[in-house]
Amino acid sequence: MSKEAAMREQICLLAKSLFDRGLTGGSTGNISARTPDGGLLVSPTGTSFGRLDPSRLSHFNCNGVLIEGDPPTKEMPLHTAFYDTRSSAGAVVHLHSCHSVALSMMPDANVDDFIPPLTPYSLIQLGRVKLLPFFVPGDAAMGDAVRSLAGKRSAVMLANHGPVVAAKDVEAACNAIEELEASARLALLTRGLSPQQLTPEQVQSVITKFDIDWDA
């Protein structure tokens, strides 16, 4: 099996896992990965994560031209913005996961640190998560908002919409976005209970030990 064929299978397998566990439903969410030749494989528009077909993934060449497969997700501006501003990005995942969306609706949601430092794992997997404002789905302005971060965040939360995460490969991106949703759920479960968050010193110790890309 070629590397591209294996990547196609992996994208569909991981997407189905996310769907089967209720992390995104219906035809929501989209996923992409950088191919060995510098192109992109992208989930098609209007498709369900539970039923992606490896042979029908949208395939772009290294010049951004669709060369085979079905038409891509309307959220392509989000994906290309991450690839264009983060050289380390090998995959991007966007979900409509329930708890992270709910947390984004809270009036006191932290714009610069959307996920509170409750455990070290969100720091390791995500760094700091930026909360972006609401955009109409498919609006190219979402990509502009990601570009304005100049590659400083690997994870963002679209208010009233869903999280978007970039990572080195598909597996890492899926792991990270799962951590984002789990951390948002934990934040909601402890909301109003004055939980003991990690102290600034503890946060710094995690950053230092795991060499986390942490923009100030």
DSSP category for residue 70: S
Q: Is the confidence at residue 216, as pLDDT, over 80?
A: no
Active-site annotation, residues:
75, 121
Residue 213: its pLDDT value, please? 86
188-to-123, 179, 193 alpha-carbon distances in Å: 18, 14, 10
Any domain includes 216: no
What pLDDT digit, counting tens, does each position of 1-25 carry? 799 999 999 999 999 999 999 999 9
Any domain includes 215: no
Range of the domain at 18: 3-210
Any domain includes 197: yes
What pLDDT digit, counting tens, does each position of 164-197 carry? 999 999 999 999 999 999 999 999 999 999 999 9
Task: Locate all alpha helices (DSSP H) within the chain, ordered by sequence.
Answer: 3-20, 76-85, 98-104, 120-126, 141-147, 170-189, 200-210
pLDDT band for position 102 (50/70/90)?
Answer: very high
* pTM for the structure as a whole: 0.96
**Total domains present in the chain:** 1
Q: For residue 136, what is the domain's CATH number?
A: 3.40.225.10
* 158: β partners: 132, 162
Residue 215: its pLDDT value, please? 73
State the Cα–Cα distance between residues 189 and 93, nearest whole angstrom: 25
Query: On the CB side of 183, how many CA atoms lie within 13 Å of its CA?
Result: 27
Residue 66: its pLDDT value, please? 97
Is the distance from CB of 73 to CB of 39 less than 8 angstroms? no
Determine the average pLDDT of the residues in 54-72: 97
State the Cα–Cα distance between residues 44 and 185, nearest whole angstrom: 29
State the Cα–Cα distance between residues 187 and 80, nearest whole angstrom: 30
